[in-house]
């Protein structure tokens, strides 16, 4: 499997510009939707490529590839994800995901879920990072008191969680709020489950 990694900046609300600059410093291919180009320009960040129908852009992009996608049947987020898949990327770091109309945010979340079978997606919002996980073993880092939330998207079997205030030992989880707002008590938290899918939300600072 390809190990190509990209950054995707969307035209949403960027609560923490620190993660934007931290990601931009990495040697990853940087793709942005057309409306996000102006945000990056203000931060003196030049992406490698701009994708979209170019209807939301105010400044003419310079020194980057323009990927024109006039198709009005899909939003720019979906176009960007599909382009990354077709170009052979396996991991993408996304910010600017939220902001705007509720229906837009719900569609974006459905795309986050749908494309998580083809891309390992790291989704940043404020100081938090969200990922969609499927059965397996995972390790997360944080400091004592940091929040970790497990949000099942389907029934979860044999969940084991160690290093938190409320550990789990071979527990089956159903979609609901049981896994919300747990806390790190150790610098590393381990998670393992044998079936199902879930969203995990953790601090991005130690897991980027």
Q: What is the pLDDT of residue 1?
A: 44
pLDDT tens per residue across span 15-43: 778 888 888 888 899 999 988 998 899 89
pLDDT(179) > 70: yes
- Average pLDDT over all residues of the chain: 92
Which class would CATH give 4-126? alpha beta
For the whole model, what pTM was predicted? Answer: 0.91
Q: Where are the beta strands (DSSP E) in 104-187?
A: 120-125, 128-141, 147-152, 156-162, 168-173, 182-183
**Could you report the per-residue pLDDT of 154-173, keeping only the tens digit for each?**
999 999 999 999 999 999 99
Q: What are 45-83's pLDDT values in tens digits?
A: 999 999 988 777 777 888 899 998 888 888 899 999 999
Architecture in CATH for domain 130-206: 3-Layer(aba) Sandwich (3.40)
- Answer whether 5's CB lies under 8 Å from 24's CB: no
CB atoms within 10 A of CB 62: 8
Q: Would the pLDDT of 10 be above 60?
A: yes
Instruction: For the chain, give every residue range classified as CATH 3.40.50.10240.
Output: 4-126, 130-206
């Amino acid at each position: 499997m390809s190990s190509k990694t990209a950054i995707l900046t969307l035209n949403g609300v960027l609560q923490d510009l620190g993660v934007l600059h931290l990601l931009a410093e990495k040697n990853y291919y940087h793709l942005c939707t057309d409306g996000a180009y102006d945000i990056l320009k203000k931060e003196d960040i030049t992406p490698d490529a701009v994708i979209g129908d170019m209807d939301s852009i105010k400044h003419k992009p310079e020194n980057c590839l323009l990927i024109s996608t006039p198709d009005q049947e899909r939003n720019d987020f979906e176009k960007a994800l599909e382009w990354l898949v077709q170009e052979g990327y396996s991991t993408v770091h996304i910010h600017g995901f939220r902001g705007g109309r509720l229906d837009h945010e719900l569609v974006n979340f459905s795309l986050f879920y749908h494309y998580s079978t083809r891309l390992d997606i790291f989704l940043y919002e404020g100081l938090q990072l969200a990922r969609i996980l499927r059965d397996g073993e995972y390790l997360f880092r944080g400091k004592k008191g940091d929040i970790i939330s497990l949000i099942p998207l389907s029934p979860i079997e044999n969940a084991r969680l160690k290093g938190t205030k409320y550990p789990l030992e071979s527990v089956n989880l159903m979609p609901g709020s049981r896994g919300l707002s747990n806390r790190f008590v150790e610098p590393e938290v381990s998670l393992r489950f044998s079936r199902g899918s879930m969203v995990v939300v953790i601090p991005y600072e130690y897991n980027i």
